[in-house]
């Protein structure tokens, strides 16, 4: 399954007012060197192989609105030029079929009016790995995933709102708090109260898990302590009283959305980091 990445784009030009033909736009669709909200850093040269492969094929790179591959109207154009600059991946693209495709016509208007501020692309990683660093100002978690080479670039395209905006915002806030905690600065009372509330909510989520879910995760997760655990932890079985408590909590607990769970997991990590220094 290809991965997708959304980023704040820099639309350099769009249409005749910027010296381009009607329907054309030029944009920086990926930035080198900075850590994004998922912890990835794209290195210069990462696109070299896939751009060469597209050029050799004689086929254009598709421009697709918001990764909607299954919608033929979302295939709004093609990339005319693609190159790596000092800043990132820059493309010159042509929106086509505006007389017959209402999506293409509308997206063209959004681009000309600069009401679209993000771009995205779909890809597979060919070479990458985790890098540890002491530069907490640039990498608050102390590590990042460096993408050195893409093995595939399936399409690029504008998107009005990134596919995972809420998670992006949560991750940005979490990174800021993490940097503060690692620097030894005291959390504000408001942040502490919010984290404590989220910590309690995570407990509710975990307590609501069914015995089957607990068994599955305990069997697939590495032990927290190499020194071993209780017989129940080693076998993945819960004591009867804990099983009964979990079932009761599951019956009472309201449904949780993925965004809530994501936020609670993030804050639990922060609480753990704060308590361990």
Sequence-separated contacts (24+) of 191-199 with Cβ below 8 Å: 194/267, 195/267, 195/270, 195/271, 195/274, 196/271, 198/263, 198/264, 198/267, 198/268, 198/271, 199/264, 199/267, 199/268, 199/271
pLDDT tens, position by position, 234-265: 444 555 555 555 455 545 444 444 444 444 44
3-state helix, strand, coil in the chain (%, to 5): 40, 25, 30
pLDDT tens, position by position, 210-227: 676 667 666 555 544 444
> What's the pTM?
0.57
pLDDT tens, position by position, 54-81: 999 999 999 999 889 999 999 999 999 9
**% of the chain exceeding 70 in pLDDT:** 56
């Amino acid at each position: 399954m290809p991965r997708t990445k959304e980023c704040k784009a820099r639309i350099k030009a769009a249409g005749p007012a910027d010296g381009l033909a009607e329907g054309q736009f030029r944009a920086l669709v990926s930035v080198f060197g900075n850590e994004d909200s998922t912890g990835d850093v794209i290195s210069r040269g990462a696109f070299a192989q896939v751009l060469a492969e597209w050029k050799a094929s004689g086929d254009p790179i598709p421009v697709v609105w918001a990764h909607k591959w299954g919608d033929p109207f979302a295939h709004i154009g093609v990339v005319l030029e693609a190159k790596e600059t000092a800043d990132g991946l820059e493309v010159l693209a042509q929106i086509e079929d505006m007389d017959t495709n209402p999506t293409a016509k509308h997206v063209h208007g959004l681009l000309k009016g600069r009401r679209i501020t993000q771009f995205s692309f779909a890809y597979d990683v060919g070479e990458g790995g985790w890098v540890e660093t002491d530069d907490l100002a640039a990498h608050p978690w102390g590590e990042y995933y460096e993408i050195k080479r893409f093995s595939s670039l399936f399409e690029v395209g504008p998107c009005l709102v990134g596919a995972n905006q809420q998670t992006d915002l949560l991750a940005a806030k979490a990174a800021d708090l993490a940097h503060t905690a690692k620097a030894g600065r005291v959390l504000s009372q408001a942040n502490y109260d919010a984290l404590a509330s989220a910590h309690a909510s995570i407990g509710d989520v975990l307590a609501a898990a069914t015995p089957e879910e607990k068994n599955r995760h305990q069997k697939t997760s590495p032990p927290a302590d190499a020194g071993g655990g209780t017989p129940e932890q080693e076998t993945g079985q819960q004591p009867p009283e804990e099983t009964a408590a979990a079932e009761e909590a599951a019956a009472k607990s309201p449904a949780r959305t993925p965004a809530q769970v994501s936020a609670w997991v993030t804050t639990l990590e922060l609480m753990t980091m704060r308590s361990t220094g």
